[in-house]
Amino acid sequence: GNSVTQMEGPVTLSEEAFLTINCTYTATGYPSLFWYVQYPGEGLQLLLKATKADDKGSNKGFEATYRKETTSFHLEKGSVQVSDSAVYFCALSGDYKLSFGAGTTVTVRA
Protein backbone atom coordinates (compact mmCIF):
# COMPACT_ATOMS: atom_id res chain seq x y z
CA GLY A 1 0.00 0.00 0.00
CA ASN A 2 0.88 3.66 -0.08
CA SER A 3 2.77 5.21 2.79
CA VAL A 4 4.69 8.35 3.64
CA THR A 5 7.55 8.66 6.08
CA GLN A 6 8.75 12.06 7.18
CA MET A 7 11.33 13.09 9.70
CA GLU A 8 10.11 13.36 13.23
CA GLY A 9 10.22 16.64 15.00
CA PRO A 10 10.04 18.82 16.70
CA VAL A 11 12.42 21.04 14.83
CA THR A 12 13.47 24.31 16.42
CA LEU A 13 15.34 26.90 14.39
CA SER A 14 16.44 30.49 14.63
CA GLU A 15 15.10 33.06 12.22
CA GLU A 16 16.91 33.08 8.84
CA ALA A 17 18.15 29.51 9.32
CA PHE A 18 17.89 26.87 6.59
CA LEU A 19 15.07 24.35 6.95
CA THR A 20 14.93 20.83 5.53
CA ILE A 21 12.21 18.31 6.28
CA ASN A 22 12.82 14.90 4.78
CA CYS A 23 9.99 12.93 3.22
CA THR A 24 10.13 9.55 1.51
CA TYR A 25 7.29 7.53 0.13
CA THR A 26 6.20 4.10 -0.97
CA ALA A 27 3.57 3.90 -3.66
CA THR A 28 2.33 1.93 -6.60
CA GLY A 29 2.06 3.78 -9.86
CA TYR A 30 2.90 7.44 -10.22
CA PRO A 31 1.39 9.45 -7.38
CA SER A 32 1.25 13.17 -7.00
CA LEU A 33 3.11 14.53 -3.99
CA PHE A 34 2.12 17.35 -1.69
CA TRP A 35 3.27 19.38 1.26
CA TYR A 36 0.55 20.77 3.52
CA VAL A 37 1.01 23.23 6.37
CA GLN A 38 -1.14 23.49 9.48
CA TYR A 39 -0.96 26.59 11.63
CA PRO A 40 -2.06 26.31 15.28
CA GLY A 41 -5.78 25.65 15.64
CA GLU A 42 -6.40 25.63 11.91
CA GLY A 43 -6.98 23.13 9.15
CA LEU A 44 -4.51 22.17 6.46
CA GLN A 45 -3.40 24.45 3.66
CA LEU A 46 -1.74 23.22 0.53
CA LEU A 47 1.81 24.58 0.48
CA LEU A 48 3.08 23.06 -2.76
CA LYS A 49 2.72 20.05 -4.99
CA ALA A 50 4.41 18.10 -7.77
CA THR A 51 2.62 15.77 -10.11
CA LYS A 52 5.43 13.93 -11.89
CA ALA A 53 9.06 12.97 -11.53
CA ASP A 54 11.57 15.84 -11.51
CA ASP A 55 8.82 18.42 -11.01
CA LYS A 56 9.70 21.11 -8.49
CA GLY A 57 6.93 22.60 -6.42
CA SER A 58 7.49 26.00 -4.86
CA ASN A 59 5.55 28.52 -2.82
CA LYS A 60 6.34 31.19 -0.20
CA GLY A 61 10.05 30.43 -0.45
CA PHE A 62 9.55 26.70 0.11
CA GLU A 63 10.65 24.17 -2.49
CA ALA A 64 10.44 20.43 -2.96
CA THR A 65 11.50 18.26 -5.91
CA TYR A 66 9.82 15.00 -6.84
CA ARG A 67 12.68 12.47 -6.95
CA LYS A 68 11.47 9.16 -8.31
CA GLU A 69 14.87 7.48 -8.11
CA THR A 70 15.08 8.08 -4.36
CA THR A 71 11.29 8.15 -3.76
CA SER A 72 11.69 11.42 -1.93
CA PHE A 73 10.07 14.83 -1.76
CA HIS A 74 12.11 16.80 0.76
CA LEU A 75 10.90 20.26 1.76
CA GLU A 76 13.40 23.12 1.94
CA LYS A 77 13.43 26.80 2.73
CA GLY A 78 16.55 28.90 2.67
CA SER A 79 15.65 31.47 5.32
CA VAL A 80 12.81 30.79 7.72
CA GLN A 81 10.73 33.36 9.56
CA VAL A 82 8.84 33.19 12.84
CA SER A 83 5.63 33.05 10.82
CA ASP A 84 6.75 29.70 9.36
CA SER A 85 6.19 28.03 12.72
CA ALA A 86 3.63 25.32 12.00
CA VAL A 87 3.18 21.61 11.45
CA TYR A 88 4.18 20.38 8.00
CA PHE A 89 2.70 17.27 6.42
CA CYS A 90 4.01 15.38 3.43
CA ALA A 91 1.32 13.53 1.49
CA LEU A 92 0.81 11.49 -1.63
CA SER A 93 -2.24 10.74 -3.68
CA GLY A 94 -3.35 7.25 -4.58
CA ASP A 95 -6.77 5.87 -5.49
CA TYR A 96 -7.95 9.48 -5.21
CA LYS A 97 -7.13 9.47 -1.52
CA LEU A 98 -4.36 11.23 0.32
CA SER A 99 -1.91 9.40 2.55
CA PHE A 100 -0.21 11.65 5.08
CA GLY A 101 3.06 11.48 6.91
CA ALA A 102 3.05 11.92 10.67
CA GLY A 103 3.75 15.64 10.49
CA THR A 104 6.77 17.65 11.59
CA THR A 105 6.38 20.48 14.06
CA VAL A 106 8.62 23.42 13.23
CA THR A 107 9.23 26.26 15.66
CA VAL A 108 11.17 29.31 14.53
CA ARG A 109 12.59 31.55 17.24
CA ALA A 110 13.22 35.25 16.74
Partner 1 sequence: GAVVSQHPSRVICKSGTSVKIECRSLDFQATTMFWYRQFPKKSLMLMATSNEGSKATYEQGVEKDKFLINHASLTLSTLTVTSAHPEDSSFYICSARGRRGTYEQYFGPGTRLTVT
- List interacting residues with partner 1 (CB under 8 A): 32, 36, 41-46, 49, 89, 93, 96-98, 100-103, 105
Q: Is the Cβ of residue 13 or residue 98 nearer to partner 1 in the bound state?
A: 98
Nearest Cα to 104, choosing from 32, 66, 47?
47
Task: Pick between residue 31 and residue 80 the one whose CB is nearest to partner 1.
Answer: 31
CB of 67 to partner 1, least distance (A): 19
Torsion, Cα of 89, 101, 103, 75 (10° steps)? -50
Q: How far is the CB of 98 from partner 1 (least distance, A)?
A: 6
| Least separation in angstroms between CB 79 and partner 1 | 27
Cα first-last separation, the chain: 41
Of 97 and 110, CB closest to partner 1: 97
> How many CB atoms are located within 10 Å of the residue 33 CB?
27
- Whether 88 and 102 have beta carbons less than 8 Å apart is answered as no
Nearer to partner 1, 15 or 87 (CB): 87
